Amino acid sequence: MAELPSALALGQSLRNHTCSARELTESFLAEIDRREPELHAFLTVSREEALAAADDADRRLAAGEPLSPLDGVPFAVKDNLCTKNVRTTCASRALEHFVPPYDATAVSRLRAAGCVMLGKTNLDEFAMGCDTGSSAFGPTRHPLDPARVPGGSSGGSAAAVASWEAPLALGSDTGGSVRQPAALCGVVGLRPTYGRISRSGLTGFAPSFDQVGLLARTPADCAALLALTAGFDPLDATSARRPAESFADQLEAGVRGLRIALLQEGLDEAGPAVRRSTERAAACLESLGARVEPLSLPFLREMLPAYHILTAAEASSNLARFDGVRYGLRAPGAGWRESIRESRSAGFGMEVKRRILLGTFVLEKEQRDACFSRAQRLRRRTAADLREALGRFDLVLLPTAPETAWRWEEERDPLALYRSDLFTVPAAIAGLPAVSVPFGEENGLPIGVQFMGRAWEEALLLRAARTLLQEV
Amino acid sequence: MGENRNRPAASYETVIGLETHIALKTETKAFCSCAVTFGAEPNTHCCPVCLGMPGALPVLNEKAVEYAAKAGLLLHCRVSLVSHMDRKQYFYPDLPKGYQISQDDEPLCTDGWLEIPAAGGGKKRVRIERIHLEEDAGKLIHTAEGTLIDCNRCGVPLIEIVTKPDFRSAEEVVAYLQELREIIRFAGLSDCRMNEGSLRCDVNLSLRPRGSEELGERAELKNLNSFQFAAKAIAFEEERQAAVLASGGTLFPETRGFCEETGETYAMRRKESQDDYRFLPEPDLPPVVLTQDQIDRWRSELPEPPAERRARYESEYGLSHETAALLTVSRAAADRFEEAAARTPWARQLANLLAADPERLEAGIPVAAQSLAELAALLGEGSVGAAAARRILDEMWAHGGDPREIAARLGLLKLSDRASLLPFAEQAVAANGRAAADFRAGKTAALQALLGDVMRRSHGRADPAAARALLLELLGG
């Protein structure tokens, strides 16, 4: 991997006219053609649109007027982010033929920066899952071993970046959907602070948790991608009014003097290889001048059920719009009630139905206090605890996923799958930023470690990630 | 609705609470920038947000919050500094997102009241439990080929005003609705047109034995498209429930529709123990946070209520109650009238002139206050007659302009100088020899006929006093 150029380096060679954006785009499209039959990272490849965008970039580059450091550089988009005139399915039968008339804000900002969209990547249906296995259009395979899972739900985006089908990708992270596949595939995955990147055009699953996430090969690429996508958007009332930042100024500043917490529960709950990598990362940071101290957050385990109750509740509401009345799959029925029922029965897969049923249940009057309201209180309390801990530390170090990519043949029940979110849910519960960075491996499979930080401190996260990656 | 105490209903007391929906007259919808319209071509004012497209997010229209809060202030409510939006969830083809953005446990306004005339004279205070902000749904259009959906109304901001069960009769309900409509309309917050659906009211009605404090099982009456129909539905429902109770039957909570043709209510659906809308705090919208300064400013922008204005017009300008009522049909009309009245000693004349054509007043008066004042002076000083003044007003209403110039151009100014009047007077005397002779013979009443002829010949422009003086001179010799 180390020999592969970064997206920023590609941008530089375009500005140096070492190659053209068309050539670059064609080479990625060729790689997609070569790898896709096995990988299935993409649901839609927008070849013609990509080449047209590349030609536009070449005209700007020839005139010496690039729009950004990534002008002409290709990227891939998770298929739950709307793309104007390009099919957006959310990996669901319900939206199999849905073509949005608008771009998600994150997508339109990258287009405005001259980036070239290659196509739409696979995911768990409506981003509900952690192995990309619940896609209605078939799973994505791990780039290093097709018998294994790539993680999820942004498994297509992670696999595309890991296999160099695309140098950059957009994903979405509700409870770890960017960081966990990044860890399993061996790329950098950033979940920014809630409100940092507009959610407009992201087909939400749990809006109070959803955040557009970024996948790249290097922290510097992540910083560049974040600088282009972040910022207030009048179309999203939860996007934050924060001034523009570079995120890259401090990347090389190292970790000397930083107070880093090593999460005890992170070590306890991880598999042996993941535990060893995390401890090695801690030692490495300490040797570079960081003050690493153990931290215990006993409430960590309580977050998981709270997370699943709250996200299911929001999902049951957010997915109510897919009734087949105005767009999407419509099944016939005698009368509207039956048509809506049949459309939803035919449109949604098992995992989606499971969460809708769970979410519907926990919001009903009889259970509401015991389930939903209690989970809300738990969220508020644990988020406050986490923020309190981050008052004493600059960063928290913990594994990203308890284990490396598992085999498809290992049948897993939903509860076992939910458990793989254990380390990624805390940042999501509290709306805090977190980054997964490849560090170590087990039998050739990548391991990711994770930094969790204070709100709006993505620059610090990327700086720690950059420092650690240099030591690999 | 007669007060016949022999009906079964006479042994029961009627208890009514109202839920009134009012569409706010903001320029744009509650959560997107689509225009709020009525009667437009179907589905021409909708966007990804109000159509519930994937990934489209609501952004709260601050004007809608302002209007809802102002309605609360008019109804003496407490306006919350912090409230939040919730999703009320149910499936229906006219509800694009599968939920309505509304407010559940923390509404914008609470604990208000509105006074209505009491049955035995005096005032009765109806308590307002809450006012919350929400969005409207679309409209279903049933045709022979199938049902069509018009989404123009999706996302139009509504307030729902919920009263305590304080009404005891249809008359009180109608009085409340009239009062409510007037003050909301007067403040420019809504058109409150029942026939266009910008004011809709659901009646919750139950009966209880007279003297009882407990509430009976209630029926919710829907589809009441005018005040008259609301009154009829209440009258019918009182009798229906009383008949059930009197015959030993039991009532159960239900939703009932109203048939305008028969004047009867009919069962629509039985309410399950309580409908469960699985409310969810709206995660796409941050809480609605107001400052006390904001609320104070909105309070200061509220118009003086129309009832108080009417009383003031009667005492200050000597207007009749009817004329005062016509001028307070809308804030725009009343404000313009007051502006003009402040510039002329002839305010009463101006009021009567404006009130002569009351239909057009509601939308406001498109004539500058100064021009109105000058017109009032022309009329008051006798330079033009009442009919001429109305023509001048019509002209200014349609095309603007200076009243004196219009009067001159249209030849409406009165003729009072001897040179202009003399030909008319001479012709009148010559043509009415009999009347002239009668007058000279001492029948003073005969002068009236001659004067009338002068007015006819001058097309009404002759100043009567000057013409009279001239006739006397001609006849007296």
DSSP labels for A229-282? Answer: HBS--TT-TTS-------S-TTTTS--TT-EEEEEHHHHHTS-HHHHHHHHHHH
Burial B13-49 (b: 16+ CB within 10 A, else e): bbbbbbbbbbbbbbebbbbbebebeeeeeeeebbbbb
Q: What is the pTM of this model?
A: 0.89
User: What pLDDT sits at residue A271?
Assistant: 94
User: What pLDDT sits at residue A15?
Assistant: 97
Gap between the terminal Cα atoms of chain B: 71
User: What pLDDT sits at residue A163?
Assistant: 97
Asked if the Cβ–Cβ distance from A325 to B96 is below 8 Å, we say yes
Under the banding of pLDDT at 50, 70 and 90, the label for residue B383 is: confident
| Token pair for A242 | 């924060």
Radius of gyration of chain B (CA): 30
Report pLDDT digits (tens) over A96-123.
Answer: 999 999 999 999 999 999 999 999 999 9
Q: How far is CA A230 from the centre of its chain?
A: 15
Is A420 one of the catalytic residues?
A: no
User: What pLDDT sits at residue B2?
Assistant: 44
Q: Among the listed ranges B29-33, B74-78, B146-150, which one has the minimum average pLDDT value?
A: B146-150
Polymer length in residues for chain A:
472
Is A46 one of the catalytic residues?
A: no
Q: Is residue B274 pLDDT above 80, yes or no? A: no
Q: Among the listed ranges A157-161, A236-240, A414-418, which one has the minimum average pLDDT value?
A: A414-418
Give the start-to-end residue ranges of the domains of chain B. 8-289, 304-409, 418-476
Q: Is residue A414 pLDDT above 80, yes or no? A: no
3-state secondary structure B55-110: CCCCCCCHHHHHHHHHHHHHCCCEECCEECCEEEECCCCCCCCCEEEECCCCCCEE
- In chain A, DSSP finds a helix count (H) and a strand count (E) of 17, 11
Torsion of CA A116, A122, A126, A131, to 10 degrees: -130
Active-site entry in A78, A239, A316, A436: A78
Active-site entry in A92, A108, A153, A436: A153
Mean pLDDT (chain A) is 95
Asked if the Cβ–Cβ distance from B98 to A320 is below 8 Å, we say yes
CATH architecture of B418-476: Orthogonal Bundle (1.10)
3-state secondary structure chain B: CCCCCCCHHHHEEEEEEEEEEEECCCCECCCCCCECCCCCCCCCCCCCCCCCCCCCCCCCCHHHHHHHHHHHHHCCCEECCEECCEEEECCCCCCCCCEEEECCCCCCEEEEEEEEECCCCCEEEEEEEEEEEEECCCEEEECCCCEEEECCCCCCEEEEEEECCCECCHHHHHHHHHHHHHHHHHCCCCCCCHHHCCEEEEEEEEEEECCCCCCCCCEEECCCCCHHHHHHHHHHHHHHHHHHHHCCCCCCCEEEEEECCCCEEEEEEECCCCCCCCCEECCCCCCEECCHHHHHHHHHHCCCCHHHHHHHHHHHHCCCHHHHHHHCCCHHHHHHHHHHHCCCCCHHHHHHHHHCCHHHHCCCCCCCHHHHHHHHHHHHCCCCCHHHHHHHHHHHHHHCCCHHHHHHHCCCCCECCHHHHHHHHHHHHHHCHHHHHHHHCCCHHHHHHHHHHHHHHCCCCECHHHHHHHHHHHHHC
Under the banding of pLDDT at 50, 70 and 90, the label for residue B411 is: confident
Q: Which of A437, A434, A425, A399 is nearest to A279 (CA)?
A: A399
| Token pair for B266 | 């009919």
Gap between the terminal Cα atoms of chain A: 12
Q: How far apart, in whole angstroms, are the C-alpha atoms of residue A428 and residue A300?
A: 12
Is A353 one of the catalytic residues?
A: no
User: What pLDDT sits at residue B273?
Assistant: 56
Does residue B51 sit at the A interface (CB-CB below 8 Å)?
yes
Helix (H) or strand (E) holding A460: helix A458-470
Asked if the Cβ–Cβ distance from B97 to A320 is below 8 Å, we say yes
Q: Which of residues 104-123 of B touch A (CB under 8 A)?
A: none
Peptide bond into A200 cis (omega under 30): no
Report pLDDT digits (tens) over A43-78.
Answer: 999 999 999 999 999 999 999 999 999 999 999 999
Q: How far is CA B197 from the centre of its chain?
A: 14
User: What pLDDT sits at residue B6?
Assistant: 56
List of chain A residues whose C-beta atoms are within 8 Å of the C-beta of residue B278:
316-317, 360, 363-364
List of chain A residues whose C-beta atoms are within 8 Å of the C-beta of residue B284:
204, 207, 237-238
Distances (CA, A) of B292 to B69, B189, B295, B297: 12, 21, 5, 9
Asked if the Cβ–Cβ distance from B54 to A81 is below 8 Å, we say no
Under the banding of pLDDT at 50, 70 and 90, the label for residue B460 is: confident
Under the banding of pLDDT at 50, 70 and 90, the label for residue B9 is: low
Q: How far apart, in whole angstroms, are the C-alpha atoms of residue B85 and residue B108?
A: 9
Report pLDDT digits (tens) over A297-311.
Answer: 988 888 999 999 999
CA distance A226 to chain B (A): 20
Does residue B59 sit at the A interface (CB-CB below 8 Å)?
yes
In the CATH hierarchy, which fold is given to the domain comprising A7-252+434-470?
Amidase signature (AS) enzymes (3.90.1300)
User: What pLDDT sits at residue B477?
Assistant: 54
Disruptive mutation site among B60, B101, B284 for chain A (greatest number of A CBs within 10 Å): B284
List of chain A residues whose C-beta atoms are within 8 Å of the C-beta of residue B58:
237
Nearest to B93 among A203, A236, A325 (CB): A325
User: What pLDDT sits at residue B413?
Assistant: 86
- DSSP state string for A268-316: HTS-HHHHHHHHHHHHHHHHTT-EEEEE--TTHHHHHHHHHHHHHHHHH
Mean pLDDT computed over A317-340: 94
Q: How far apart, in whole angstroms, are the C-alpha atoms of residue B293 and residue A226?
A: 38
Under the banding of pLDDT at 50, 70 and 90, the label for residue B272 is: low
Give the start-to-end residue ranges of the domains of chain A. 7-252+434-470
Under the banding of pLDDT at 50, 70 and 90, the label for residue A2 is: very low
User: What pLDDT sits at residue A1?
Assistant: 38
Polymer length in residues for chain B:
477
DSSP A197: B
Report pLDDT digits (tens) over A214-272.
Answer: 999 999 999 999 999 999 999 999 999 998 788 999 999 999 999 999 999 999 999 99
Disruptive mutation site among A352, A362, A363 for chain B (greatest number of B CBs within 10 Å): A363
Mean pLDDT computed over B371-391: 90
Report pLDDT digits (tens) over B91-136.
Answer: 999 999 999 999 999 999 999 999 998 888 889 999 999 999 999 9
Does residue B289 sit at the A interface (CB-CB below 8 Å)?
no
Percentage with pLDDT > 90 across chain A: 92
Ramachandran class of B161: left when φ > 0, alpha when ψ lies in -120 to 50, beta otherwise? beta
Contacts with B112 (C-beta within 8 Å, 6 or more apart), sequence order: B72, B75, B76, B77, B78, B127, B128, B131
Q: Is residue A8 pLDDT above 80, yes or no? A: yes
CA distance B114 to chain A (A): 33
User: What pLDDT sits at residue B8?
Assistant: 64
Mean pLDDT computed over B210-228: 90
CA distance A140 to chain B (A): 23
List of chain A residues whose C-beta atoms are within 8 Å of the C-beta of residue B283:
206-208, 238, 314
Q: Is residue A210 pLDDT above 80, yes or no? A: yes
Burial A36-54 (b: 16+ CB within 10 A, else e): beebbbbbbbbeebbbebb
Contact A77, A45 (CB under 8 A): no
